[in-house]
Structure 1
């Protein structure tokens, strides 16, 4: 058995196991381990100290089975050696070691003893006795300073018996802005401290105090330390002072609003030329600077920074300045582009090497003519131009200059060139002579050939001198030509063009000539403006008179002959023609010269006559309508008929029907009334005349059908029949009613009764018999009787005698009960 505690009682027993199950336990046996010396005590603790004594206290270690009889406390002599001497041997757990030296560090150890022996020594306790307070430390010194903080360092007091690790320091500072005097800013064992949150360029007073276990020292001497200046703010954006020159400009700026607590000592100016980057060009205390030796027309960027002796500020906002440009330099001499032509040439040139600092906006090309005169041949931005209107075979000189927004630069060197041979000059105006109404003769002179013989002439003709597209009427080497096939009394315009090996000349001035007068031209636009059954109204367009006014027209109407008009009117009416007939018509114009050709023949047809009105007859007359008919069969010609009826009390007729039918019923008429009608027929030709007026009369209206009659006062042999009365439309007429009563199940003669009133009493009936009754109104007028339709049947059953007796008894009982009820109420 291992790891047992010394001096400790233990009990042990043995158990038998079968298949890991306890079967039986042996009796327990007691034994005790042997005792040994105590365990090593823990480090003693310093309870109190004075200048010549130390109070030490400790705790008891494990005695390991034997009671501790005493403790041994040893202490060295304070020199730091390993020589210990016993200062205490007893059972108490604290002891005051006396007669010690002040401010001395002693080493103390402890051992426990029992009957077996002494334990090992405890860890060594090093404790110092108290001594005198430290001397005043030297004042703090400045290690580093900035605008917001001061880094201070200091040393310990001289002749101090305490170790530097046991020394505490208190640092105090006077803030001039607070007015509270010295205040603690640090307390600790470090020999340095950084004061933060200070004001820039401000003097602060400091003092230091040392402290150890024995007390506080006096304050050190006061020292004054100052923070440095802060980083100044960026200066304001510079501005241009005065006028910007082509190679210089002057800038000025204002000092920064915040100099960082110290005056600005120096400004630094940086310049960027065309985006090459900023580079410093000047440093100084002034707030103005003249930037010179610059390139004209170049954009510069300027910025400023300052220095207050402590730190450099940020750069200011950038000022952008563009120097004034100058006139551009002279381009190289122009050169020929392509081939030389007789009247034009293409010149080109390069841009000037120096544009004066501003984009070239224009070029001018100066042309020196063979006679020494000059003119500007081109002005524009392109570097090529076409010089036209040159004389062929002449020497010309050209020079070019460039311009920007400042002005023109110098002229380039001269470029001399000779134009090539050209086309002939324009011929003079040709001479035109009339030969007939349809032809003219032209003659012209040979123009200047400009170095190449003329081998052809081209003659063109146009109807107007300003028409650009003319028709060619001849070409050849001859200088005269006769033009035929012209129209009489028309003005023609002619021009001539000469041709040599180089090309075509310009056209000559236009010559105009009007041909002689002639007979009129052919008439056009013949048309018929109005057609009737017996007449034609003709119209046409006036033809060209060919120089002589038209006097009249000849109108040819088929086999009817030719009819001359009275004047130059372009309309003519032909009357007394046959209806529905086709005529061939043509027209010719005539003037003082003669007659013109006939126009194209046109065929015009007269209209057929409109249809006659049919005979109108009445095929059926009712009291409220009349059915009219005017024809039989089908309407194959689709003739439209219009039936009109005369208004009451008026001579006017109004339309009651229009269509292609052969009959029509006129509704909503009054009874026994006469109406007047007439009819007309119409086809695509027109509307025919009205027929003779006819008069037809409506009949009298029969009485209307009465409602089903009512049967009242029914007995076994009699009853009373009632119906609604009929109101007569005419007061002079009267009405009588025919009442028919019939047995429904037996075929017997009905009972027929007539009466003037709207009710009748019928007797002679049989009891328990079913009857039906109906009523027929009969209108009595001067023309006779007009019967109406019977009313619907009313069926009724006559009662028996017993039923009548029971009915009588019931009536009497009802009467008695009513009397009794009245008496009881009274």
Structure 2
């Protein structure tokens, strides 16, 4: 007869298998003829598969579809399907398989974040129910991120490198994880736009002082998160604003820390804003201001006039080059000279060349200086010869013929101009205002003192101080002459007929009082002192020794000797 109905198949695989089920069932009674095989049938799609024994793998199933199975035995009595005695249906079973391995995730860095993307893995099983994303590198964490294939991981540290891997999950379980993303990928490092550079300074550049128009911009930068916000600077940009020459200077090398900006207008204040650009974008800027300048131009219309040891100058002040003129310098082919600025330094237009030697011919050049330096020399001025008051004559005096005074004097320095004439004044009275000789004579009485003052006048009409000298004529000549006066016979001790008084006649002793002494060669000074008045007088002394030598001394002047 037909084999009996087997027991319902049981599912022997512990976990779902892809497109198959492992089945086993009990062997039924053969009922006379040996069992030659089995047929297993599904309840979905009516699939059937023959087996030689009471277990085996039913293949060709559709993953994700729930199946039940029944089995019937065959022997030689079974000639058609209607002869089969089917078992009861098995419990439901759904074939399935875990998802495949996702490809390496791709990254897109953000500011303190990374967006991770991946392609869905191959999947022959049930639909993916979610993904799990793991982070490595500067952090370690695993997150279930849902069924989307893109996830933005926030809260990361800019400038730190991160890696990621992902795996898919379905009803069959977790699929294998993808490879880790590369730590060297620039997108593995979160970053933001750069911060503003530090210590931006702009300063006038004086490498070309004659033209100017240059400013050197400097900034502090380091490729650390403190500066670049996580991504190295790729370039710097300077935005120049202000007057003529305002522009943007782009694509400055990332290694640069200075930039020379040229072509600017001297004397105009400019602002220089510096910012960095990294792979995220252009960052914040920091700025500084500076005013370019050059040395001043050359003064023009330099004109000199003559002074005393100096030369007053006039000129037209030059362009200041964008920086106020602070001083002027002077030079002369004739040697070192000084310069005193007159009026405001920036405007000029007057000054004085000082320290000059009167009588020397000079030409001058000026140049203006500012904070940048000194500009070119001006064209030479006209030639001038400074001059001043002549030196005072040195006067001397001599006496001739007892009563003639002759004054002479040297030719003093004209102090830059020749001496033209002299003014002479005698005892306070002008003698001659245009005297050209260097000597003057005049006769006076005996014992007179006179003073001559001499003033030199040069061709410029300037006068010296006076040179003067006083001279005195000689004293009138003094002489004493004696002779016998009236008889002195009868005077005490005088009885000889030769006894007489002595008569005195003086010259040059005046008519006032005189003191006299009487002398002889035998008696010595025998009389005096005695006193008398007048230029002629008879003494009170008398003498009476014939053949003696007699003389009188009046006011110290010895008379002639007479033989008595």
Which TM-score applies when normalising by structure 2?
Answer: 0.42
Higher relative contact order (Cα pairs below 8 Å, separated by 6+ residues): 2
Whose radius of gyration is greater, 1 or 2?
1
